[in-house]
Chain A
Amino acid sequence: MAKAKAPAENFVSTTNACKLCKPLGATLVFKGIEGGVPFLHGSQGCATYMRRYIISHFREPMDIASSSLGEKQAIYGGGANLKKGLLTVMDKYGAGLIGVATTCLTETIGDDVPGILGEFRREFADLELAPVVNVSTPSYSGSHMEGFTAAVKAVVEQLAQAGEPNDSVGCFPGFVSCADIRHLKDVFASFGIDATILPDYSETLDGPALDDYEKLPSGGTPVASIRALGGAKASFEFGATLPPVGEAGTAAGLLAARFGVPAHRMGLPIGLRASDEFFKALEAVACAPTPRRHALERGRLLDAFVDGHKYISQKRCVIYGEEDLIVGLTSFMAEIGVIPVLVAGGGRSGRLKAAVEAACEGLLPEMPEVREGVDFYDIADRARELAPDFFIGHSKGYRLAREMNVPLIRVGFPIHDRFGGHRLHHLCYLGAQELFDRVVNAMIEKKQTDSDIGYGYI
């Protein structure tokens, strides 16, 4: 692999960002709660832009309410619009929960959202009000993933209650696909574990064809289950670049600190090794061995690794996207013999490099180049020098992959130039199997396309 050269110039401007803004992540979390309506406190455009962006990936309705602030409110404060908007959403949508996320506008004009919500509850104490959760998501600090993590934490912080210990287990998987959430539910169920997965947009953002427009799509994490997390038996939290559990900066950390719920923190279970770690932890929590169907999935995966290894061995890839996701993808690539040459994230957790190195330990002769806080100008610049065999990441890398005439394996968010991105599996043995097949087939297809003969038997 290319020797490390002087770090790329530190550009002032951003060209083709490899991240999205903080409130977007929060809206996804609120959409994953039963009866939840995401509400952006800011000007109308933020809600509309995020709606259309999210719709392009999920191809599902994504209603995000807005306090629709205008110039007057920007000067005098948005409190009145926020209250009015909340009432409208409660009344017209019959919301089970409203998740209010701030935008750069309301953060900067200094609206005290918790204070306004307190006033709101007092002013309308005679009405039956839906719970309102709020999270501070100034878009000038952090990426959509930090907004996502902050919203999960805010939900737990504001809803979970101390109570009788119960049999539930919390699971905070991070920003994974709808199919992944469904698979996680299966996995927990097959171990006999009563899991509360937060968020769960597997139905709300991947619902069935309907006869009527559901104001509140069915599905989502029940609010009562979130409240009961205070008495949970344990929690699982995926994410290798999250703040350490001890700092209570995440949902699992908070449950541990406030209610003494033991936290199992691990990277996203992508690939064999990371899935093993997850299943081992499940065995411990369930006091039971891994059910045969998952053991078989593991066995088939390993068999596929052997059958397919020569098609991909020593191929070089560039991995980009959300930090936790790319850590998982990198260790997976490393374990199947692909050489990750560049791992690039748009976030700035400060923890990406260490997380990649920990996840790849013992698998690679040389650690990949890891860059955080990059945009696609940086990625392109470096990728042209590194000449990878393929890219793995979301749709935004397409132009670069096309320019370099190498395959792009689409993973993550957004996938808006392919169909069904939210139905792809990535997690556990099943997800690794699907990813592995896609990687191998991408290499076979490339070989076929580039061949003068066009072998139909490979």
Chain B
Amino acid sequence: MSDLIFEERKDQIHRKGEGPFKLACNRDSLAGAVSQRACVFCGSRVVLYPIADALHLVHGPIGCAAYTWDIRGALSSGPELHRLSFSTDLQETDVIFGGEKKLYAALVELIDRHQPKAAFVYSTCIVGIIGDDLQAVCKKVSAEKGIPVIPVQSEGFKGNKREGYLAACKAMFTLMGTGDTSDIGPLSLNILGDFNLAGEIWIIREYFERMGITVVANITGDGRVGDIARAHGAALNVVQCSGSTMDLAKMMKEKYGTPFVKVSYFGIEDMAEALYSVARFFKDKDPGILVRTQELVKDELAVLYPKLQAFRKDLEGKKAAIYVGGAFKAFSLIKAFRHLGMSVVIAGSQTGTEEDYEELASICDPGTIIVDDANPLELSAFLKEKDVDIFVGGVKERPIAYKLGVGFCDHNHERKEALEGFVGMYNFALEVHRTVMSPVWKFVPRRTGKILAVEEADLPKECTL
């Protein structure tokens, strides 16, 4: 590549076609490089956050809880306990003498006040350092209050977001096996790795229900403790966002024998394939299911296709960049952009694995920049180099795009638009169209050069001083 921004990171960037594919990943972020990554705590909080009838208590100083207060778009059809931000707000004396007493008192107080079905207690960096015995406190409160009180080992410094996902899966797994499964039928599944952003899980559930399948537990969007407790009774786990919940699916397979399929609900092919893979799984139990699923997909596409064609007329040939949390999402996005006649020229993630990046590279066009754990300097340089029309990412990526005069699509946990399912593909196309086709880009410096004279030489010729 032209000039490396961080020499130390050169093996975390690859241009497809330039040499055999090899990308270093899952490595600690370079100190001082302004990584876009978060921490272990963030990973746990993201996954468990939407369990709406549980108490989520952050044991630590105020920031960790304050910065995660109701920032996500995860909806609930009932209780909304997840939208509150609970903290032990540790103070200096707690750090010196230990925070266990405060944690105990806070838990008792909050459980009495809200009567949750379970409580998750997140440990933060500092708790790991001062060594509070979360297990013991949780066990004691659990016995006293008669609800599961589950410690989540999510000290921020103990790795990156992925470790947080694992901690969350372990925490959820302790709930499983405790609920009554006797009324669960053979055509049943759990939805894993969907967070019900803007009600997306309701779209997906409706598809499954139209296919004749019962959804036992949503994990974790619109999640309920009681459902998770009996999730082991379902016949199948359907895993989206495999980075976050694959660990749980594997644990369930090992202990309960629950098989799983890996899916994505973004874009046309992936959404249809998600439904077909579930239908194939159940076809012996219900021979009519394949036909019903085909009908469903056909009906949805009949509505969607003409609309997409209209967008495509405008978007054909435009270029997109993708930088997301998990690499898996990038696969679907690349395919979705192709439906709009667009190409993806930059693809990266915060926490992709070797496997993820290999798959990513295999579906990318030659010349695509593939990057792990990027930062604003790299991202802005790539956006400029590739002269993209739209960037897909989250809050931290948005100002980078906008500052440079590039369109943007929010595709993260904070979004308030449903992008999953067939209707989600329409919403995605609509959002892409709105941003890419906005007239504002005609005026930005990237397209027009300098707007105002900054030096005398730039002044209009007829100018008389």
Q: Is B337 in contact with chain A by the CB < 8 A criterion?
A: no
Q: Is A65 an interface residue (CB 8 A)?
A: yes
Interface centre among B5, B38, B88, B91 (most CB of A within 10 A): B38
Least CB distance from A56 to B in Å reads: 6
A387 CA to B36 CA, complexed, in Å: 43
Q: Which residues of A contact B102 (CB under 8 A)?
A: 12
Q: Which of B36, B156, B405 contacts A209 (CB 8 A)?
A: B405
Q: Complex formed: what's the CA distance from A105 to B36 in Å?
A: 20
Contact of A88 with B404 in the complex, beta carbons under 8 Å = no
A209 CA to B401 CA, complexed, in Å: 11
The answer to the question of A187 belonging to the interface, with a C-beta cut-off of 8 Å to chain B, is no
Q: Which of B67, B110, B129, B398 contacts A49 (CB 8 A)?
A: B67
- Beyond A14-B86, A103-B125, A104-B125, whether A141 also contacts B92 by CB under 8 A is yes
Of the listed stretches A19-27, A127-135, A287-295, A325-333, name the one at the interface; the rest are far from the partner chain: A19-27
Known: A63-B376, A68-B30. A17 touches B87 (CB 8 A): yes
Number of residue pairs spanning A and B whose beta carbons lie under 8 angstroms apart: 232
Contact residues, A318-336 vs B (CB, 8 A): none
The reply to whether B157 and A105 contact each other, CB–CB distance below 8 Å, is: yes
CB distance from A39 to the nearest CB of B (A): 7
Chain A residues closer than 8 Å to B38, beta-carbon distance: 44-45, 48-49
Decide if B34 touches A14 in the complex (CB within 8 Å): no
Can you name the residue of chain B whose Cβ is closest to the Cβ of A16?
B85
User: For B63, B68, B377, B399, which residue has the most chain A Cβ atoms within 10 angstroms?
Assistant: B63
Stretch in B167-175, B227-235, B444-452 with 4+ CB within 8 Å of A: B444-452
Contact residues of B between 384 and 401, Cβ < 8 Å to A? 384, 394-396, 398-400
* Shortest Cβ gap from A21 to chain B (Å): 3
Residues of chain B lying within 8 A (CB to CB) of residue A88: 6, 30-33
Q: Which of A79-87, A164-172, A424-432 contacts B (4 or more CB under 8 A)?
A: A79-87
Task: Name the distance in Å between A60's Cβ and chain B's nearest Cβ.
Answer: 5
User: Cβ of B128: which chain A residues have Cβ within 8 Å of it?
Assistant: 74
CA distance A59 to B401 in the complex (A): 11
Decide if A47 touches B109 in the complex (CB within 8 Å). no
Query: Complex: how many Å from CA A81 to CA B110?
Result: 39
A105 to chain B, nearest CB (A): 4
In the complex, the answer to whether B106 meets A70 with C-beta atoms within 8 Å is no
Q: Please tell me if the beta carbons of A17 and B89 are within 8 angstroms of each other in the complex.
A: yes
Check: B90 CB closer than 8 A to any chain A CB.
Answer: yes
Residues of B within 8 A of A71 (CB): 157-159
Give the residues in chain B near A89, CB-CB below 8 Å: 32
The answer on a CB contact under 8 Å between A13 and B110 is: yes
Question: Please, which residue of chain A has its CB at the minimum distance from the CB of B28?
Answer: A70
A interface residue count range (under 10 / 10 to 19 / 20 to 34 / 35 or more): 35 or more
B221 at the interface (CB under 8 A from A): no
Q: Which of B39-47, B184-192, B307-315 contacts A (4 or more CB under 8 A)?
A: B39-47
Instruction: Indicate the member of A44, A85, A207, A214 with the most B CB atoms within 10 Å.
Output: A44
With the chains together, A47 CA to B33 CA distance in Å?
Answer: 11
A254→B70 CA distance, assembly (Å): 40
Chain B neighbourhood of A61, CB < 8 A: 376, 399-400, 403
Chain B 37-66 residues near chain A, CB threshold 8 A: 37-42, 57, 60-66
Query: Quick one: given A20-B63, A46-B156, are A14 and B87 in contact (CB under 8 Å)?
Result: yes
**CB-based contact A74/B125 at 8 Å:** yes
- Complex Cα gap A60–B400 (Å): 8
The answer to whether B403 and A44 touch across the interface, beta carbons within 8 angstroms, is: no
A39-B32 in contact given A13-B86, A20-B67, A105-B129 (Cβ < 8 Å): yes
Within 8 A of B (CB), among A386-406: 396, 399
Task: Give a binary string over A28-56; 1 marks a CB under 8 Å from any B CB, 0 the rest.
Answer: 00000000000100111111111111011
Asked whether A396 and B129 contact (CB < 8 A) given A48-B35, A213-B403, the answer is no
- Checking B31, B85, B449 against A66 with a beta-carbon cut-off of 8 angstroms, the contacting residue is B31
Q: Is A124 an interface residue (CB 8 A)?
A: no
CA distance A139 to B405 in the complex (A): 36
A64 interface contact, C-beta 8 A: yes
Q: How far is the CB of B273 from chain A (nearest CB, A)?
A: 33
Option from A62, A74, A140, A210 in Cβ contact (under 8 Å) with B157: A74
B362 to A: closest C-beta gap in Å: 30
Q: Could you tell me if B376 and A44 are in contact, using CB atoms closer than 8 angstroms? A: no
Decide if B381 is an interface residue (CB 8 Å cutoff): yes
Q: Within 8 Å of chain B (Cβ to Cβ): is A286?
A: no
Instruction: State the CA gap A46–B68 with chains docked (Å).
Output: 12
- CA distance in complex: A88, B30 (Å): 9
Q: Which residue of B lies closest to A95 (CB)?
A: B32
Interface residue A212 (Cβ < 8 Å from any Cβ of B):
yes
Given that A43-B125, A55-B395, A84-B31 are known contacts, is A70 also in contact with B158, CB under 8 Å in the complex? yes
**Interface residue A138 (Cβ < 8 Å from any Cβ of B):** yes
Residue B297 at the A interface, CB < 8 A?
Answer: no
Tell whether, in the assembled complex, residue B62 and residue A139 are in contact, meaning their CB atoms are under 8 Å apart: yes
For the complex, is A108 an interface residue (Cβ under 8 Å from B)? Answer: yes
Report if A158 contacts B (CB, 8 A).
Answer: no
Cross-chain pairs A/B with CB under 8 angstroms, 21 sampled: A13-B57, A13-B105, A23-B63, A49-B38, A53-B67, A55-B395, A61-B403, A68-B28, A68-B29, A70-B28, A71-B157, A74-B129, A85-B32, A92-B33, A104-B90, A108-B126, A108-B130, A140-B90, A209-B403, A210-B405, A399-B70
Apart from the given pairs A17-B85, A21-B62, A103-B125, 16 other A-B contacts in the complex at a CB distance below 8 Å: A12-B109, A13-B86, A13-B88, A13-B89, A14-B65, A45-B39, A46-B156, A48-B396, A49-B64, A50-B67, A52-B396, A59-B399, A66-B29, A70-B28, A104-B90, A139-B62
Q: Which are the 7 A-B pairs with shortest beta-carbon distances?
A: A45-B39, A21-B63, A88-B32, A213-B380, A85-B32, A85-B31, A13-B106
